[in-house]
Structures are given as structure tokens and as C-alpha cells.
């Protein structure tokens, strides 16, 4: 909770603001004043980014081993519900702030999942600012938590609680349902695009094998009166991702090569396939974020391919008759690969997180 302390210290400089709760609102006021600083932009990209901030929290629950399904619903009025079957946001009293942990997560900047020191946050949207930012930028938000046999609900407007955390019923299930209406005074457009959401959810299903994702659009009905809906689920993960990327191309090898490993708290998964074209296409992800400019993980992968294939060819005398030196590029002609790493505290180059710079585990993670 050092972050909260820092926030307090900054705000008390003003003299007027003493109580914790007022500072929490101050933090979210800053988000409304300069939304671009928190979610990148207020155009359609920023609008969709709100969904990813919420979905990322649910994916963290999945990565922690507690969530198997995430549903995203576009309602008729373009409000969004993200529903997961994770443990549910804790609702007990937050000792320091003397209010429900649910209210803290929803209204305090960067309060995200920091209660639980044992499970680090590995998923993370482009800006990783958390659900409280989405709340600040929503004209209305509702959190419904199913936990410990009960249903807890709290509602907000522009990030400010409109109700206490109320128990509204009983439930035999666990999970979190977040519904929000993006603020039309902040976003250039508040109309969601089905395909933008569908493409990323499909990608997320490959990156998180075994996780069921669903998208439902209540704005559109088919001839039977049913809402437009799609499931995204991948049992095979990256192996299926490269097969999807190479669909329609002629295969040079029967099956993709698929490797996985975990060391020093860093998870690595790679799938690679060869086709008969000369093009190299390597897609890379760090904590589910697409690193379009590559980085340490992609450089390492390229070197590994070069080293392993060179050694194999050398050991088997395959280079004997060659009159030229085989280069790394030669091993990557027709290669389609997906490299995905999950790192506790990644360092990125630049604002857009387009490039993984290096990784240095914190003392806590080194254990």
C-alpha cells in the first residue's frame, strides 16, 4: 500500500485535502482531466481500451488459477458487462482506508490486485491502469461480486460511489461482474465495434489456452431473435495460433513445433511453423501484450533458432557441400512463429509498450 501513502503525501500538499476518501476521488479527478495520460486516447482506441482494462483483471484471475470463463457483453445502449467466474473482488474491510476492499479497488488509482502479495500481476493492458480508471471515465458503473455465498453490489458515477457496498442476495457461485457506460462527454464516440472486440478476444484465447471467452452483442439479433454471440476457446494455445496464422499457406512441415517452459518465475511459450513462402513473421507477446517492435524475447528466440538449427545441420554434415555460409535469416524463411512470455515485472521501451527492453526480477521474485 506504499502507493496509497505516496498519493496521500502528494495531495496533502494542498492543505485542503486531509481524509483518505477525498484523496481517492482526487486521484480519479486527475484521470478525468487528462484521460489520454491514463488510457492513451479518447478516440475509438481509448474507448475499446476500457474493455481491456477490465478483461485484464479477469485474465489475472485466470492466470492465478481461479477463473475459467470470461463473458463480454455489449448492451443495447453500448454499455459493457465483463463477467468472470474468479474469486470475486474482496469485499471485506480494508483496514487502512476503513472501507470495503471492493470500494478501494473500484475508486483508488492503482489499487488493483495489490492486496495479494503472493500472486503477481502478469496480465496488463497497454497502460495497465486498472479498473478504477475505467470507473473514472464512466458516467455509470456497477460492480457485482459473488463471494462467500453472497451477492455484493456497489454503483458509481464518474468514479464516485453512489451507494454503499450492499448485500443484495445469496449466491452459490463466485465471480465478478463489472458493467460500465463510457462517459459520452469524454469519448469522441461511445459506439463499440464488435470486430475490434472479437479479434482481440480470439487472440487472448490463443494466448491463454483453456480459458473460455465469449462475446455477445445485444444490439444485433439473428432471424430467430437470438443475440449475436461467439465463443473463443483454444485447447492447443499457440500451436493453434500459428496454424490459424498460416491457414491457406502451403506447409513445409507437418505439425508446428511447440515448446513451453518456466524458469525464475518467467513463463515462455513458443510455437513455430514453416510454409513455402520466403517471409518471416514472428508475433510476440509479453503478458498478453503484443510487442510489435519485438525486444529481448524475440532476439533470444532468433538466436536460439539459429544456434539449434546450425548445430543440428553441422552435426549431421548437412553444410558439407555448401559453397556459402548459412545465415540466421536462412533459417527464418517461411517461418511463422508466436513467442509469448509471462514476466512478473517487465520493462518496456517507450510509452506504447511496443518493445520488451529487458527483464530483471525484483528481489521479491528472486525469493
CB of 106 to ligand 0RA, least distance (A): 9
Q: Is 80 in the site for ligand 0RA (CB under 6 A)?
A: no
Q: Which residues pair with 216 in a beta bridge?
A: 73, 229
Q: Is 174 in the site for ligand 0RA (CB under 6 A)?
A: no
In sequence order, the 6+-apart residues with CB closer than 8 A to the CB of 254 are none
Cα–Cα distance between 193 and 185 in angstroms, integer? Answer: 19
Tell me which long-range contacts 242-247 makes (C-beta under 8 A, separation of at least 24).
Answer: 242/271, 242/272, 242/273, 242/336, 242/337, 242/338, 243/273, 244/206, 245/273, 245/281, 245/283, 245/336, 245/338, 246/273, 246/275, 246/336
Which residue lies nearer to ligand 0RA by CB, 11 or 87?
87
What residue number has its CB nearest to ligand 0RA? 57
To which H or E segment does residue 349 belong? strand 346-349
DSSP state of 295: B
For ligand 0RA, which residue of 11, 83, 87, 239 counts as binding (CB under 6 A)? 87
Q: Is 61 in the site for ligand 0RA (CB under 6 A)?
A: yes
Q: How far is CA 281 from the centre of its chain?
A: 23
For ligand 0RA, which residue of 27, 35, 86, 346 counts as binding (CB under 6 A)? 86
User: x-or-dash pattern for ligand 0RA, window 39-58, by CB under 6 A?
Assistant: ------------------xx
Near ligand 0RA in 110-149, by CB under 6 A: 113, 115-116, 131
DSSP state of 97: T
Q: Is 84 in the site for ligand 0RA (CB under 6 A)?
A: yes
For ligand 0RA, which residue of 23, 79, 176, 208 counts as binding (CB under 6 A)? 176
For ligand 0RA, which residue of 72, 80, 89, 213 counts as binding (CB under 6 A)? 89
3-state secondary structure of 59: helix
Q: Where do contacts with ligand 0RA occur on this chain (CB under 6 A)?
A: 57-58, 61, 84, 86-87, 89-90, 105, 113, 115-116, 131, 176
Amino acid at each position: 500500500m506504499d502507493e496509497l501513502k505516496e498519493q496521500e503525501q502528494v495531495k496533502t500538499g494542498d492543505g485542503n485535502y486531509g481524509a483518505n476518501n477525498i484523496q481517492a476521488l482526487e486521484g480519479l479527478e486527475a484521470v478525468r482531466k487528462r484521460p489520454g495520460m491514463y488510457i492513451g486516447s479518447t478516440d475509438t482506441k481509448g474507448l475499446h481500451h476500457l474493455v481491456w482494462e477490465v478483461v485484464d483483471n479477469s485474465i489475472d484471475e485466470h492466470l492465478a488459477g481461479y477463473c475459467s470463463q470470461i463473458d463480454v457483453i455489449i448492451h443495447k445502449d453500448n454499455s459493457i458487462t465483463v463477467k468472470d467466474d474468479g474469486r470475486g473482488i474482496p469485499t471485506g474491510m480494508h483496514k487502512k482506508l476503513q472501507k470495503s476492499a471492493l470500494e478501494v479497488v473500484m475508486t483508488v488509482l492503482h489499487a488493483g490486485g495489490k492486496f495479494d502479495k503472493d500472486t503477481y500481476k502478469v496480465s496488463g493492458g497497454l497502460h495497465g491502469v486498472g479498473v478504477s480508471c475505467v470507473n473514472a471515465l464512466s458516467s455509470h458503473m456497477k460492480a457485482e461480486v459473488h463471494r462467500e455465498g453472497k451477492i455484493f453490489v456497489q454503483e458509481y458515477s464518474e468514479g464516485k460511489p453512489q451507494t454503499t457496498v450492499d448485500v443484495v442476495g445469496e449466491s452459490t457461485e463466485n465471480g465478478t461482474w463489472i458493467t460500465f457506460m463510457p462517459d459520452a462527454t469524454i469519448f469522441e464516440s461511445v459506439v463499440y465495434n464488435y470486430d475490434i472486440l472479437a479479434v482481440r478476444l480470439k487472440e487472448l484465447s490463443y494466448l491463454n489456452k483453456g480459458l473460455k471467452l465469449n462475446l455477445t452483442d445485444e444490439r444485433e439479433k439473428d432471424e430467430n431473435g437470438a443475440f449475436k454471440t461467439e465463443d473463443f476457446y483454444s485447447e492447443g494455445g499457440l500451436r493453434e495460433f500459428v496454424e490459424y496464422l498460416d491457414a491457406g499457406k502451403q506447409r513445409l512441415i507437418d505439425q508446428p513445433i511447440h515448446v513451453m517452459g518456466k524458469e525464475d518465475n518467467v513463463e515462455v511459450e513458443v510455437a513455430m511453423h514453416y510454409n513455402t513462402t520466403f517471409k518471416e513473421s514472428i508475433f510476440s507477446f509479453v503478458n498478453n501484450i503484443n510487442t510489435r517492435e519485438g525486444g529481448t524475447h524475440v532476439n533470444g528466440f532468433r538466436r536460439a533458432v539459429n544456434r539449434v538449427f546450425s548445430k543440428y545441420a553441422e552435426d549431421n554434415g548437412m553444410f558439407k557441400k555448401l559453397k556459402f555460409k548459412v545465415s540466421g535469416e536462412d533459417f527464418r524463411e517461411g517461418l511463422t512463429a508466436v513467442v509469448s512470455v509471462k514476466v512478473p515485472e517487465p520493462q518496456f521501451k517507450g510509452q506504447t509498450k511496443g518493445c520488451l527492453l529487458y527483464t530483471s526480477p525484483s528481489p521479491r521474485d528472486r525469493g
